[in-house]
Amino acid sequence: MTTASTPQTSSTRRARVRGTAAVMLLTAGVLVLAGRVVPPVGDALALVLGLELLVLARVNRDDGPLIAGGLLTGAGTAVVLASGPLQGVAAHTMGGTFVLAVAGGLALVAGLAVWWLHETYHWAWITALGLGVLGGGLLAGPDAVADWLSWAIPVGLLTGGVVAAAAWWRRSGE
């Protein structure tokens, strides 16, 4: 009985993916054409496609569209912010906001993976945290990032060395 339900599930999933692909192509066409008249509408293309991928991820309970959708949603949010409310701001503010938006997309991947898939993506949490710290530092200004990195890099190297040495020590005793 299990084998009979698997092809149906597989064909249903393929049909959903094909339908989503059609919707995404239509969405892209509409937004690009509308963006010729109202440029901010065209700037929202990546954000909208990312959200559509997140919907596909939810419906299929699949991590592929979840990861792509989260990253595209984060980058798309950054593009919308850069083309709208952040026009004309200092470069470090624009860069910091972009990095924070991408961090938000990764946090979205990590959070939705737990909520929808009941899986923990440590890599997404760690990357989101690292990018969040970097983005916050960029918002604080380039001098703040340089000062922070001058302390963070040696401390990180020392911490990595201690962890590696402890792991080696533990394994060599076996």
Question: What was the pLDDT predicted at 2?
Answer: 38
Domain count, the chain: 1
Residue 93 lies in a domain: yes
Residue 131 lies in a domain: yes
What digits encode the pLDDT tens for the residues 131-146?
A: 998 898 888 887 777 7
DSSP the chain: -HHHHHHHHHHHHHHHHHHHHHHHHHHHHHHHHHHHHSHHHHHTHHHHHHHHHHHHHHHHT-HHHHHHHHHHHHHHHHHHHHHTTTTT--HHHHHHHHHHHHHHHHHHHHHHIIIII----HHHHHHHHHHHHHHHHHHH-HHHHHHHHHHHHHHHHHHHHHHHHHHHHHHHT-
What digits encode the pLDDT tens for the residues 4-41?
A: 444 557 888 888 888 888 999 999 999 999 999 998 89
* Verdict on whether the full-model pTM lies above 0.95: no
Question: What was the pLDDT predicted at 5?
Answer: 43
What digits encode the pLDDT tens for the residues 80-94?
A: 999 989 988 988 899
Question: What was the pLDDT predicted at 146?
Answer: 76
Question: What was the pLDDT predicted at 4?
Answer: 44
Residue 124 lies in a domain: yes
Question: What was the pLDDT predicted at 138?
Answer: 86
Average pLDDT rounded to a whole number, residues 36-58: 94
Give the domain extent around 75: 2-140
